[in-house]
Amino acid sequence: MKSIKKRIVITGGEGRFAITLKNSKTNLNIFFPSKKKLNILSLRSIENYLKKIKPKYVLHAAALSRPMNIHNKNISKSIDLNIIGTANVVKICEKYRIKLIYFSTNYVYPGRKGNYKEIDSLLPINNYAWSKLGGESSVRLYKNSLILRLCMCEKPFVHKYAFSDVKTNFMFHEDFIKIMPKILDKKGILNVGGKLQTVYNFAKKNKPDVKRISGKKIFPLNPSMNISKLKKII
């Protein structure tokens, strides 16, 4: 029987990343609650579930993400799920001294010069990134936590087009899952991503028919991260 101390709860247990994690071959003892069992908008729901499971870690992956324009069209929903929901999770983790690992985004960086380190200044590139930075703010108040500034996506690459002039550090969910056990006990902030390359070069390796498109008018050209801290860990 696996130790209770090693139990892990992932919020957003029915989300895209959670589904990949659930189907992966890992020895981690992970619980995947549905929104009905663990609703991040309800302090009572979070507390009841975590009291019952008694996890050592909470992976906070529940969030409003795509489509990106929903964060412009419905800022109330963006605030509720990504900022207030995260703050609720922080409150209960702090109350029961549970290690919290928060899934943020590399888009909190300005996206101009690239090679951003964890200590660099932030300037979110869109409303989605602002909502994730809002979540980061509450997580930072709780010292038993780790903020992951992630650059990852589903496999296969889901879009028909990929930016040929935007440099970043994309990695697939499966690749992150392989290194996840090595970072569970780290604290602070950690950039997590793969090889520095254009989005197009990343995508075409998995999806040969992906089409080139320029991101100049719609996206910062270099939101890439410095992942040297991650490399030392893995």
Write the pLDDT tens digit of every residue in 7-47. Answer: 999 999 999 999 999 999 889 999 999 999 999 999 999 99
CATH topology of domain 4-161+169-198+225-233: Rossmann fold (3.40.50)
Calpha distance 169→180 (Å, rounded): 17
* 22: CB partners within 8 A, 6+ apart: 30, 32
Q: At what angle do helices 85-95 and 127-140 cross, to 10 degrees?
A: 20
Every domain of the chain and the residues it spans: 4-161+169-198+225-233
Confidence of residue 232 (pLDDT cuts 50, 70, 90): very high
Identity (one letter) of the amino acid at 39?
N
Q: Which region, left, alpha or beta, applies to residue 146 given φ > 0 means left and ψ of -120 to 50 means alpha?
A: beta
Write the pLDDT tens digit of every residue in 151-209. Answer: 999 999 999 999 999 999 999 999 999 999 999 999 999 999 999 999 999 999 999 99
Angle at 130 (CA atoms; ends 188, 32), nearest 5 degrees: 60
Q: Are 92 and 144 in contact (CB under 8 A)?
A: no
